[in-house]
């Protein structure tokens, strides 16, 4: 069985590795010269750093002790992984996929395979090379198609306008920089501008929560709190009843009290509590936690020292000197950086293959496969805090789906109903997630895929370790490809029944 993987970032290389282990003949297309996706040279803004603490940015079969690694270190790890498991030899670098469409034939789209057109990256005049594959995995990443607001007055502004992806060394040097956005990349870049630019201004519509590197008054690393089963039990109940354990049924009133305590600690430990009231998050936890990144070092200090002018407002228009805010204030700029996110789109995919709803939300069963379409899957679009672990488990699920080896095989109608129910839950529990971001539900998302694969969701023999130690870590899921049963052997096959707490 021939399989095509589009993209050689973390999702693409782990999908290729798992498919190879399952007997597929794999070809990986990637537009960059080196594997790594956003971690590749030119894949994202210069100075991008990893927000993962130790043992989080790693796949199950290759330990990684890096702690808040640089982009160079992160790319090196991914390349080492691809080399170690035979993926690097399957990659066609600097090759752009321009079309993926189902081969004409009887049955549902994809039933007869997929036609894939590719050409050298960046050369639109080059001839297109066409191949047919039995299966296609889309792992093209969610951070490549820039979202830049279309504001009036652009022709009057004489400065430079870039998306955060396109910031390079020297972009800020000696210039007046305005960064628009409230996420981690916006804060990263405005802190950098505070060092390099003549002035640095941050404009954000609302102040987002940021996770401090250490919680509990700055004493305990965040993974020991947020990435445990006990920590996740404080979240609103997960939409899949099979993944709800007794600890998750804690009374809502008790959860509210505990979240008030967490909120106070987050404000103190992140430093946001030392900023003026209007520069603190207004939304209540945990509902806005899904959009949180790890607090960049130096942001609070830069604001307090006046090195960063932070403003809370929408942007209304360009002026000839910079930007006009909805408050009526004009902000002078030589460089405007929009750290305003990305579109989750797939321009190479046949428009007849429906993967979005009318609101633009991804409409995929388990956030992996489109209902009613055969032999096509998406890896990297079931976003959780520890996305490295998430994409690895997704790859295992998809490989079994391709082999018709999942425990349950819902039909198209059942898939559509499951997608409807999940999207409705996400709008309540994770507003603004776009059907893509599961945020802090790392372990619940893992449990759901493990149940589908007929594998045990309990990953230790020790109850205290199961609930109190970080569970959203890849090394707990080592060996999934080696046996149809649990790789760790910690739970009998019969105990993996759907619905077991």
Question: How far apart are the two ends of the chain, measured CA to CA in Å?
Answer: 37
Do residues 17 and 387 touch, judged by C-beta distance below 8 A? no
Q: How would residue 283 be classed by pLDDT, with cut points 50, 70 and 90?
A: confident
Q: What residues make up the domain containing 388?
A: 2-144+343-437
Q: Does residue 158 share a domain with residue 140? A: no
pLDDT of residue 292: 85
Q: Does residue 158 share a domain with residue 17? A: no
Cis peptide before 286 (omega within 30 of 0): yes
Q: Which residue has the tokens 């929408």?
A: 314
Q: Does residue 133 share a domain with residue 200? A: no
Sign of the dihedral defined by the CA atoms of residues 57, 63, 66, 69, in that order: negative
pLDDT at residue 383 is higher than 50: yes
Q: Which residue has the higher pLDDT, 137 or 429?
A: 137
* Residue 365 in domain: yes
Q: Does residue 361 share a domain with residue 329? A: no
Alpha-carbon span 100 to 136, nearest angstrom: 8
Q: Does residue 59 share a domain with residue 160? A: no
Q: Does residue 324 share a domain with residue 199? A: yes
Q: How would residue 501 be classed by pLDDT, with cut points 50, 70 and 90?
A: very low
Q: How far is CA 253 from CA 225, 257, 426, 468, in A?
A: 20, 6, 21, 22
pLDDT of residue 54: 86
Q: Does residue 297 share a domain with residue 170? A: yes
Question: Which of residues 338, 353, 375 is at a domain's end?
Answer: 338
Range 489-494 average pLDDT? 34
pLDDT at residue 132 is higher than 70: yes
Quick one: the chain helix, strand, coil %, rounded to 5?
A: 30, 20, 50
* Residue 470 in domain: no
Q: Does residue 334 share a domain with residue 263? A: yes
Range 116-136 average pLDDT? 96
Q: Does residue 164 share a domain with residue 140? A: no
Report the percent of the chain where pLDDT is more than 70.
96
Domain count, the chain: 2
Range 171-181 average pLDDT? 97
Q: Does residue 301 share a domain with residue 184? A: yes
What mean pLDDT is reported for the chain?
Answer: 92
pLDDT of residue 296: 93
pLDDT at residue 497 is higher than 70: no
pLDDT in tens, 34-82: 999 999 988 888 888 888 888 899 999 999 988 888 999 999 999 999 9
Q: Which residue has the higher pLDDT, 428 or 303?
A: 303
CA angle 256, 262, 264 (to 5 degrees): 110
Alpha-carbon span 71 to 44, nearest angstrom: 9
Strands (E), 234-391: 293-294, 309-312, 315-318, 322-325, 330-332, 335-338, 376-378
Question: Which of residues 308, 338, 368 is at a domain's end?
Answer: 338
Bridge partners of 356, per DSSP, are 362
pLDDT of residue 484: 54
Do residues 370 and 363 touch, judged by C-beta distance below 8 A? yes
Sign of the dihedral defined by the CA atoms of residues 254, 259, 260, 265, in that order: positive
pLDDT of residue 107: 80
Bridge partners of 121, per DSSP, are none
* Residue 478 in domain: no
pLDDT in tens, 178-187: 999 999 999 9
Residue 387: in which H helix or E strand, if any?
helix 387-402
> Shortest CA distance to 114 belongs to which of 95, 133, 141, 99?
133
Which residues contact residue 73 at a Cβ distance below 8 angstroms, ignoring those fewer than 6 apart? 50, 66
* Residue 461 in domain: no
Range 248-270 average pLDDT? 94
pLDDT of residue 48: 86
pLDDT of residue 483: 53
pLDDT of residue 95: 97
Q: Does residue 313 share a domain with residue 200? A: yes
* Residue 315 in domain: yes
pLDDT at residue 208 is higher than 70: yes
Q: Does residue 312 share a domain with residue 163? A: yes
Q: How would residue 86 be classed by pLDDT, with cut points 50, 70 and 90?
A: very high
pTM listed for this prediction: 0.92
* Residue 454 in domain: no
Question: Which of residues 298, 319, 338 is at a domain's end?
Answer: 338
pLDDT at residue 432 is higher than 90: no
Report which DSSP code applies to 362. Answer: B
pLDDT at residue 272 is higher than 70: yes
Alpha-carbon span 189 to 262, nearest angstrom: 27
pLDDT of residue 433: 81
pLDDT in tens, 303-321: 999 999 999 999 999 999 9
Range 453-479 average pLDDT? 92
- Sheet of strand 95-102, all strands in order from the earlier edge strand to the far edge: 95-102, 114-120, 129-133
pLDDT of residue 287: 80
Alpha-carbon span 354 to 108, nearest angstrom: 13
Distance of CA 34 to the CA centre of its chain: 20
pLDDT at residue 280 is higher than 70: yes
CATH of the domain at 253: 3.50.50.60
> Shortest CA distance to 5 belongs to which of 144, 138, 142, 116?
138
Q: How would residue 442 be classed by pLDDT, with cut points 50, 70 and 90?
A: very high
pLDDT at residue 496 is higher than 80: no
pLDDT of residue 20: 97
* Residue 243 in domain: yes
Q: How would residue 334 be classed by pLDDT, with cut points 50, 70 and 90?
A: very high
Which residues contact residue 351 at a Cβ distance below 8 angstroms, ignoring those fewer than 6 apart? none
Bridge partners of 221, per DSSP, are 214
Q: How far is CA 264 from CA 232, 269, 281, 294, in A?
A: 18, 9, 12, 17
In three state form, how does the secondary structure of 74-137 look?
A: HHHHHHHHHHHCCCHHHEECCEEEEEEEECCCCCCCCCCCEEEEEEECCCCCCCCEEEEECEEE
Q: How would residue 125 be classed by pLDDT, with cut points 50, 70 and 90?
A: very high
* Residue 385 in domain: yes
């Amino acid at each position: 069985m021939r399989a095509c993987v589009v993209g050689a970032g973390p999702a693409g290389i782990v999908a290729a590795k798992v498919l190879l282990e399952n007997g597929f003949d794999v070809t990986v297309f990637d537009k960059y010269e080196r594997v790594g996706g956003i971690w590749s040279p030119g894949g994202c803004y210069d100075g991008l750093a990893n927000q993962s603490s130790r043992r989080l940015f790693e796949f199950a079969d290759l330990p990684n002790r890096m702690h808040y690694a640089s982009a160079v270190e992160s790319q090196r790890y991914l390349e080492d992984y691809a080399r170690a498991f035979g993926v690097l030899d399957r990659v066609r670098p600097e090759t752009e996929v321009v079309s993926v469409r189902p081969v004409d034939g009887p049955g549902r789209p994809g039933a007869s395979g997929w036609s894939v057109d590719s050409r050298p990256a960046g050369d639109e005049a080059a001839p297109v090379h066409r191949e047919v594959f039995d299966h296609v995995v889309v792992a093209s990443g969610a951070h490549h198609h820039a979202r830049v607001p279309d504001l009036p007055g652009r022709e009057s502004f004489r400065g430079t306008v870039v998306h955060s992806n396109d910031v390079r060394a020297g972009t800020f040097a000696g210039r007046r920089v305005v960064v628009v956005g409230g996420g981690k990349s916006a804060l990263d870049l405005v802190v950098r501008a505070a060092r390099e630019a003549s002035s640095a201004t941050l404009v954000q519509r609302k102040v987002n929560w940021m996770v401090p590197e250490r919680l509990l008054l700055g004493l305990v690393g965040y993974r020991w709190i947020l990435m445990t089963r006990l920590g996740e039990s404080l979240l609103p109940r997960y939409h899949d009843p099979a993944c709800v354990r007794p600890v998750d049924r804690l009374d809502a009133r008790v959860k509210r009290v505990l979240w008030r305590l967490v909120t106070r600690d987050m404000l103190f430990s992140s430093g946001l509590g030392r900023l003026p009231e209007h520069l603190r998050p207004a939304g209540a936890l945990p509902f806005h936690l899904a959009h949180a990144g790890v607090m960049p070092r130096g942001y609070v200090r830069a604001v307090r020292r006046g090195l960063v002018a932070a403003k809370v407002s929408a942007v209304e228009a360009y002026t000839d000197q910079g930007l006009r805010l909805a408050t009526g204030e004009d902000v002078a700029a030589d460089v405007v950086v929009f750290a305003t996110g990305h579109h989750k789109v797939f321009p190479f995919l046949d428009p007849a293959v429906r993967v979005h709803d009318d609101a633009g939300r991804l409409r995929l069963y388990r956030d992996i496969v489109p209902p009613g379409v055969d032999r096509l899957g998406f890896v990297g679009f079931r976003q959780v805090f520890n996305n490295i672990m998430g994409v690895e488990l997704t790859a295992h699920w998809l490989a079994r789906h391709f082999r018709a080896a999942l425990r349950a095989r819902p039909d198209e109608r059942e898939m559509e109903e499951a997608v409807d129910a999940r999207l409705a839950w996400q709008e309540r529990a994770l507003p603004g997630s776009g059907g893509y971001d599961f945020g802090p539900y790392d372990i619940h998302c893992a449990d759901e895929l493990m149940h589908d694969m007929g594998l045990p969701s309990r990953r230790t023999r020790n109850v205290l370790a199961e609930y109190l130690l970080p569970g959203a870590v890849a090394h707990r899921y080592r060996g999934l490809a080696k046996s149809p049963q649990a790789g760790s052997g910690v739970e009998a096959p019969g105990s993996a029944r759907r619905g077991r707490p």
